[in-house]
Structure 1
């Protein structure tokens, strides 16, 4: 998508949720919804906190699950200046041109009647206690990728979560976010964070009963929805893994095979390259609709 198209998408009112730019994909949307709905069904109440909201794609879904008396708080710099040079460089590289508070608010209000509580500041300010201890049932962390910041965000999440509350941590395994990986696994091996679920993009954990959260997830028929379910053991603890099912190889029709065989060698190679490129584009994860 061109830069002009990106700016148009950001500043136009979304007609559907997928119109909101961002990196919040279908598998994690399903996992968020399942965990939050299960909490509500079990009578678990509490606020929801999001650290790093970009343009609201995940915040809109979190708002869907608010029950009477619950509050959603989102914290993001939006179009404010970063507090340090490293964070400023990260913002300039990734989303400085598109991220504004007004765009977030417009996107959120397209699907909800009122805004969440917005803290426009570095996520580190939440360590001052403005989010009441043990008040949240779900925390989503998707802010800075720098180790020191992520470690601080995890500490904020731990203080905010109530018993058996769940934290979802984004980009825990991407090659360009080693700081997130370091902070997440440090929290597991030295900070008591128990893995619940791993997806290609997010780590889900709890400082409470991980087995109970996994039991809730197993009640859903994930393969019927196009996902794979696996399990691993990490330091003696079981953890679930969800991923997208890989489609089998495409079977060529007889006429298509014959056409390729009859083409001159140069034309055959060019045709196969074109078809391979098209298949790779279809198989690739969707780009942010930004």
Structure 2
């Protein structure tokens, strides 16, 4: 498969009153058409910051280095005209929390139609309305719901509207930033089914962001796990979820409660402490202060991301023992 998205050595630093804060550090990521890649990690690990570079949505206080290649063109250096054409038509984003992303005083059909009218102003209104109805049906909603206001829709329906909006201009890449976080498990399953079906039917690529490895394992082909702004493990989703190499990825997997598992019920897994402050990262491996397998050598140098066969890699000096 040819890479649709290729991120090489991407770093993002925020300027603050107290100094520079490195939110993302030297990240590489590849994604092909028809593939779903999951980006996992706790809040604050850099997932959303990394995703924002794909459409150049980071604030002015951010400095981005490296390359973000979309179909071979660097998003970070393209002009505003090309960037405007890329957004919605080349790549689009499904933001978390549809409740806060939709305009409460506009009908959802008008909001779905907006990017179509911006990118293809020559299309007659009748065809735009037909396209909106087609998009709603594509995500499992009747076309008549285009006349509804956001407050007249359930949480799951709002999220489907956001997905329809992201598909409006037939993009080749969709970035889904925690699209199921605010949904109950039944609606979450329905939305995941919609996303999976759309990717396989339309052949688009998708970057799915979540802190929940179980969601990513169900939906994604590959998973990229981040911690402290760096990638610490990558690999096929089933293997990362079931046989993680890095102790942090293993802890993320173990934190998900398994129905019928008495051990998990009476002794739920978790990690002590909190993720590191990106402005004051510990020496060596950023995970070492919370790692149950850490030794003194873990604090001496930042571990490299090393290949470990079967399209897997991990950043841990104790890789042989962990595996």
Q: Same fold (TM over 0.5)?
A: no
Q: Which has the higher contact order (CA 8 A, sep 6+)?
A: 2
User: What band does the TM-score fall into relative to the shorter chain?
Assistant: 0.3 to 0.5
**Between Structure 1 and Structure 2, which shows a larger proportion of strand residues?**
2
